Amino acid sequence: MLASHQDVFNIVQAKFLAAEVVKSIHLNVSVVDGPSINSDRILALVEYNKSCALFVLISSRSQPISFSDLSIETVIPIDPNFSCETEPGAGQHYVILIIKYKQSRFQYNIEIGKDSCNFAAELIKSKEGSSNTNPNNNTWLEKYFGTMNNSNRNSDPVDQGELVVIRDGMVQGQTAINRESMLKYQLKLKEPEFTQKQEFSIFVGTWNVNGQPPTVSLRSWLSWDENPPDVYAVGLQEIDLSKEAFFFNDTPREAEWQKFVMDGLHPNAKYRLVALARLVGIQLAVMVNNQHYRYVKNVSFDTRGTGLLGMGNKGGVAVRLELHNTSLCFVNCHLAAHVEEFERRNQDYKDIDTRINFRKSPHEIKDHDQIYWLGDLNYRITDLNTSQVKTLLQRSEMNTLLKVDQLNQQKERGRVLVNYIEGDITFPPTYKFDLNSDTYDTSEKARPPAWTDRILWRGRGIHQVSYRSHMDIKMSDHKPVSSLFMSEISVVDPSKYRKVHEDLLKKMDKHENEFLPQVTVDQAEVTFELVKFREPQFKEIIIANTGVVPAEFEFIKKLDESSYCKDWLTIMPFCGSINPGEKCDVKLEVNLETDLETLYDILVLHLKGGKDMFITVNGHCQKSCITQTLSSLVRIQVPIMHLSKEELASALNNQGPIYYSVPRELWLLVDHLYRHGLRTRDLFESCALHEELIRIRDWLDFGSKDQIPGTPQAVAETFLLFLSYTKEPIIPFDLQDSCVAAANNFENCRQLILQKLNDIHRTAFLYICMFLQELLKYSNDNGYDAKTVASLFGDILLRDPIRNSKPQASRGKTNFVYNFLMNDLSSSLIPK
Amino acid sequence: MSAGPYNYSYIFKYIIIGDMGVGKSCLLHQFTEKKFMADCPHTIGVEFGTRIIEVSGQKIKLQIWDTAGQERFRAVTRSYYRGAAGALMVYDITRRSTYNHLSSWLTDTRNLTNPSTVIFLIGNKCDLEAQRDVTYEEASKFAEENGLLFVEASAKTGDNVEEAFLETAKKIYQSIQDGRLDLNAAESGVQHKPSQPGRNNLSNDQQANKDNCAC
Ligand SMILES: Nc1nc2c(ncn2[C@@H]2O[C@H](COP(=O)(O)OP(=O)(O)OP(=O)(O)O)[C@@H](O)[C@H]2O)c(=O)[nH]1
Ligand SMILES: [Mg+2]
């Protein structure tokens, strides 16, 4: 189960880029003078492009399982500013590594192991190699300064470069949940799946030493039990009553007492100190059996003075840690003295309970899985005088006494230590004794005996095995008290943990993808039936929001295209928003106004912050004489639909004989109007029924023995349509400017027509103009004058390249056509 | 306390390209959901997936565009190459034709992305060893000749899927470090985001330090 050095090495390397090579690592390192003496640091020597740096990594678990368990605490470039030396550490297994970088100084306690030599050699090698490198070669480190988990007091050795920030306009659908805390929370919920309960023996001891220096062995207190406990929490009070201790919170007694505590621990096991916290005379040491040390993490402590000015002659100190997956909190307190001051004691307790803050999660005492509360709580026995108490004790009527114990009373009233449990007290009061005796206070004050020294607990899985006092330690006016617990600690099964962890990450990634907008479209391909000229068709697609967030959709342009769809298509609506579970009908309208074989387009339906869907639009088109070129049409003798594929192709390619001087269809329309429409009032102004126009179109395209269907006005409109949709205008685009320029002079106009227009277009143009001249002869009947007709046909015969929905009469174009309405054209037909 | 994955520092845009049916969508799905889709419909459009990864202590959000492989969409999917920091070019080791088309995919990628775009060649479906139609060696040679990263992977078993996506990110990140990739260029496919909560942590810790000193 123990990860090897190599495993950790690989995990450390994974924390870096491939090109950033981890040369060597050192495990089991702690910060000297750090808030905890937990050896959870890993030193890593990393090289990139000949530049080296020393990384101090913190592992969130004693054995990193993945690189995300590691966070970077400190980055120290190894360049000419870097120097290091060592000093002997505590005991022969430790050495202190002192690193200096410019003004900064870092000290690490290193547990010497078999890899230490390697590490030291590599470090020295890179230091030597650095002497000829440029200290500015450290740019690769900049990114790490940003990630530095800045929990030590050292300032960054290198100025942090601000990286360029580009605002994120692309991604949406993100939720502002803090993923990490979410993960932690979810892990906690799943804890039973990857942990198993294991019983640990926890020894909790408390003793008010009455300001005495340590003189006697503490074995009979701390090693009372047969088997060595797994965890020790030893709380002392009044280790130093001197003014110095009080004002400067500094005392040599701390180390003296701690040595005695360490020496007093169970001889059948080795222990390591997890944390030592002290406030004036209140000291708390937590030790674990060596074999568990690696499963201890997140160690922290805090102290809180109460009483006079809150300065700490009274108050509490607390140490928290995580053992495997269970958070433990030990609180050692010394509450206000004097019989009548129980309210003050309640208040002191509240202050400690609420104001201790570990500055990392879980912050407060109450948030821990298991809490052990010990100390000189100082609650006394009320309403009984010293002799009454002594008498009851002699008669072994402890229960009577315990009923008037202030702590029991206050607790019962919910005034203090609510929800804490205390085991049955079977030992006599532990206060107040004459020094070096088992005799209760015989001094003048003759304080009544009391159970001032107590141990309580709160949390799940805690079983008290014993609760006792230790009468044979007599140097103080208090007797030590201890309790042995068998407590359930959840122990992580690494492989199960990995699985749960991974599953959760997976779920969360999935979750994020679930928050992407999602829609389905009922068809990926829309096919229109035979599409005919100016005969719109509609299709509907249904966009359904199948996701969990509103979907904003929009049809977007493809690369190099000017619009999101071709001009024969209209999409309604082309953008919109759909709520989850709702649908949106999108209407596709196709309206063919050009000559196409087939319709084909791929629409891109874009979801804001999400995917794109392609919708293919297909359709076959029916040919029409309208939308062809004049030069093709004059080569076609029969209705266009009667042609074979080959005939059509050759005509459209302007191959084959020319049969007519003007297109057959043009002649049919003009001839009909000539015979039936000259006297029709407002001939060109009608709005014929759509079906009528379609019938005439089909009559032209398919041919029929019948008369042309429709009123003269409908035929007139078809005539205008025909002229408006020919593939090229009658006066081609490139000639139009010259025509407008020549418009003031008929001769110039005539020359243009003669010289620049090809035969087919000229003939058609003059043919139309002659018909219009004929029409104007019937002005009285049809109501047209030359100006009106010129304006109408100017816009059609010289139509703009881009079709305007509302063509604006152009004076130049009107004038040009006007010339040909007012002058004799017979001479124009024959080139001079 | 490293910044949570939501507080990523960079966004990298990836595209996945290659012939239809080579398993592009399955690769994406495997990467984002760690699941295999046995009957995955053809992608008609461009699917979008995201995942946050960590490279060198930096949280990076990958924005992955899985394109339709069908030939008829080729013209449209070309619009999506622009601004990709990484391109995963996929073929199917059991279908030689998909391998033969790589040069045309590569041409598109080279033409439509910028020179620093990392192109990663993936020979997918390596679980179907019995049906293998393209040897590892020739593909490897092709990759080498064209300066591509290369692995054989399986969207079905998940083999090398994670690696392909992560290695691409590492390579991109390396380019940023080396200054080869200009973050300011609109088409770099990389965006940098500040890691806001990191700052908060910093100030908290300073607070904590002060307190520690006082007692
Ligand atoms: N055995 C095996 N089958 C796979 C693998 N990857 C994908 N497939 C199968 O191959 C088929 C096509 O996979 P897709 O992911 O849809 O392919 P695609 O490249 O996205 O195809 P388009 O979306 O049309 O471009 C599906 O039926 C998958 O189940 C693989 O690694 N091994
Ligand atoms: Mg697909």
Which of A184, A602, A608, A615 should we substitute to test contact with B (largest number of B Cβ atoms within 10 Å)? Answer: A602
Query: Averaged over B27-43, what is the pLDDT?
Result: 91
Buried b (16+ CB within 10 A) or exposed e, A601-616: bbbbbbbebbbbbbbb
The CATH code of the domain that includes B87 is: 3.40.50.300
Report residue A432's pLDDT band, with 50, 70 and 90 as the boundaries. very high
Ligand 2 geometric centre to CA of B71 (Å): 12
Reference B82, options B47, B46, B111; nearest CA is B111
CB B29 less than 6 A from any atom of ligand 1:
no
- Answer whether residue A724 shows pLDDT above 80: yes
At B68-123, the pLDDT tens digits run: 999 999 999 998 998 899 999 999 999 999 999 999 999 999 999 988 899 999 99
Given a cut of 90, is residue A88 above it in pLDDT?
A: no
Q: What percent of chain A has pLDDT over 90?
A: 47
Tracing tokens 């001094």 back to the chain, one arrives at A443
Per-residue model confidence (pLDDT) at position B4: 37
Domain that holds residue B128: 10-201
Whether the CB of A552 is below 8 Å from some CB of chain B: the reply is: no
Higher pLDDT, A494 or A145: A494
A509 has a pLDDT exceeding 80:
no
Residues in chain B closer than 8 A to A602 (CB atoms): 72-73, 75-76
- Identify which of A815, A796, A814, A793 has the alpha carbon closest to the alpha carbon of residue A804: A796
d(CA A260, CA A264): 6
Kindly identify the ligand whose nearest atom is closest to the C-alpha of B127.
1
CB neighbour list of residue A646: distance below 8 Å, 6 or more residues apart: none
Q: Which region, left, alpha or beta, applies to residue A769 given φ > 0 means left and ψ of -120 to 50 means alpha? A: alpha
Q: CB of A309 within 8 Å of any CB in chain B?
A: no
Protein residues within 5 Å, CB atom, of ion ligand 2: B 24-25, 43
pLDDT at residue A315, as a whole number: 92
Residue B128 lies in a domain: yes
Tell me how many domains chain B contains: 1
Q: Which residue has the higher pLDDT, A485 or A24?
A: A485
**A348-361: pLDDT as tens digits:** 999 899 888 887 76
Nearest CA to ligand 1 atom 12: B21
Q: Is B43 in the pocket of ligand 1 (CB under 6 A)?
A: yes
Confidence of residue A114 (pLDDT cuts 50, 70, 90): low
Whose Cα sits closest to atom 32 in ligand 1? B125
Q: Look at residue B35 and give its three-state secondary structure.
A: coil
Does a structural domain hold residue B4?
no
Q: Count CA within 13 A, CB hemisphere, residue A526.
A: 25
pLDDT at residue A805 in the model: 46
* Atom of ligand 1 minimally distant from the CA of B40: 16
Query: Tell me, what's the pLDDT at A3?
Result: 56
Residues of B in contact with A72 (CB under 8 A): 57
- Closest by CA position to B145, among listed B119, B177, B123: B119
Mean of all residue pLDDT scores within chain B? 83
- CATH T-level fold of A5-166: PH-domain like (2.30.29)
Say how far residue A487 (Cα) sits from the centre of its chain: 39
Residue A247's pLDDT is what? 66
Which chain B residue's Cα is nearest to A317? B215
- CB contact A516 to B (< 8 Å): yes
Look at residue B131 and tell me whether its pLDDT is greater than 80: yes
Q: What residue spans define the domains of chain A?
A: 5-166, 193-492, 519-621, 630-828
B213 within domain boundaries:
no
Please tell me if residue A17 touches chain B, with a CB cutoff of 8 Å: yes
**Interval A388-397 mean pLDDT:** 89
For residue A323 the two structure tokens come to 């053992």
Q: A147 and B208 in contact by Cβ < 8 A?
A: no
Biggest distance spanned by C-alpha atoms of chain B: 74
Asked if the model's pLDDT at residue B195 lies above 70, the reply is: no
Q: Which one has a higher pLDDT value, A223 or A47?
A: A223
pLDDT at B187: 63
**Higher pLDDT pick, A766 / A117:** A766
- Of A61, A366, A363, A71, the residue nearest B208 (C-alpha): A363
Q: Which residues contact B128 (CB under 8 A, 6 or more apart)?
A: B93, B94
Q: What is the DSSP letter of A363?
A: -
Any domain includes B210: no
Region A671-689: mean pLDDT is 87
A10: pLDDT confidence band, cut at 50, 70 and 90? Answer: confident
Confidence of residue A32 (pLDDT cuts 50, 70, 90): confident
Question: In CATH, what class is A193-492?
Answer: alpha beta
Helix-helix angle A746-756:A733-742, to 10 degrees:
160
Whether B100 maps to a domain, the answer reads yes
The whole-number pLDDT of residue A173 equals: 29
Q: CB B207: neighbour CB atoms within 10 A?
A: 11
Instruction: Write down the pLDDT at residue A500.
Output: 87
| Comparison of pLDDT for A701 and A280, the residue scoring more | A701
Evaluate if residue B206 carries a pLDDT over 70: no
The reported pLDDT for the residue numbered A780 is 92
Q: List the one residue out of B52, B50, B88, B60 whose CA is nearest residue B168.
A: B88
The pLDDT, as a whole number, for residue A132 is 62
Asked whether B154 lines ligand 1 (CB < 6 A), one says yes
- The reply to whether ligand 1 has any atom less than 6 angstroms from the CB of B160 is no
The more confidently predicted of residues A396 and A171 is A396
pLDDT for position A161: 25
**Confidence (pLDDT) at A809:** 56
Going from the C-alpha of A656 to that of each of A650, A686, A703, the distances in angstroms are: 7, 38, 21
- Which of these CATH numbers, 1.20.81.30, 1.20.1290.10, 3.40.30.10, 1.10.555.10, describes A630-828? 1.10.555.10
- Evaluate if residue A613 carries a pLDDT over 80: yes
Q: Bigger pLDDT: A222 or B197?
A: A222
Question: Which run of H or of E encompasses B96?
Answer: helix B96-100
Q: What is the pLDDT of residue A826?
A: 76
Q: What is the mean pLDDT of chain A?
A: 85
| Residue A97 banded pLDDT, cuts 50, 70, 90 | confident
| Contact call for A513 and B32, based on CB within 8 A | yes
How is residue A792 written in tokens?
């109408």
Q: Tell me the CA–centroid distance for residue B157 and ligand 1, in Å.
A: 12
**Residue numbers of A between 318 and 377 with CB closer than 8 Å to B:** 359-360
Pocket test for ligand 1, best of B32, B34, B40 (most atoms within 8 A of CB): B40
Select from 3.20.20.20, 2.60.40.10, 3.30.70.600, 3.40.50.10090 the CATH code of A519-621.
Answer: 2.60.40.10
Look up residue A465 and give its two tokens: 């095995």
Closest atom, ligand 1, to C-alpha of B155: 31
CB contact under 8 A, A17 and B193: no
Cis ω before A657 (30° cut-off from 0): no
**Planar angle of CA B130, B136, B140, nearest 5 degrees:** 165
- Residues within 8 A of B (CB atoms), A 591-610 only: 602, 604-605, 610
Chain B interface includes A513 (CB < 8 A): yes
B1 lies in some domain: no
Beta strands of A367-415 (E only): which ranges?
370-376
**Pairing status of strand A575-578 against strand A551-556:** antiparallel
Which of A216-225, A461-470, A502-511 comes out lowest in average pLDDT? A502-511
Cβ–Cβ below 8 Å for A612 and B45: yes
Between residues A123 and A546, the one the model is more confident about: A546
Ligand nearest to the CA of B24: 1
Question: CA-to-CA distance for A476 and A261, rounded, in angstroms?
Answer: 15
Residues of chain B above pLDDT 70, percent: 81
On chain A, the residues whose CB falls within 8 A of the CB of B24 are none
Q: What is the pLDDT of residues B141-181, one digit of tens each?
A: 999 999 999 999 999 999 999 999 999 999 999 888 887 77
Other C-beta atoms lying within 10 Å of the C-beta of residue A471? 14
pLDDT score of A167 more than 60:
no
**A96 pLDDT above the threshold of 60:** yes
Given the CA of residue B128, which atom of ligand 1 is nearest to it? 1
Residues A497 and A196: their CA atoms lie apart, in Å, by: 11
B51 → chain A, closest CA residue: A509
On chain B, the residues whose CB falls within 8 A of the CB of A67 are: 54
Check residues A555 and A190 and name the one with the higher pLDDT: A555
A630-644, pLDDT tens digit by residue? 999 999 999 999 999
Question: What is the ipTM metric for this complex?
Answer: 0.83
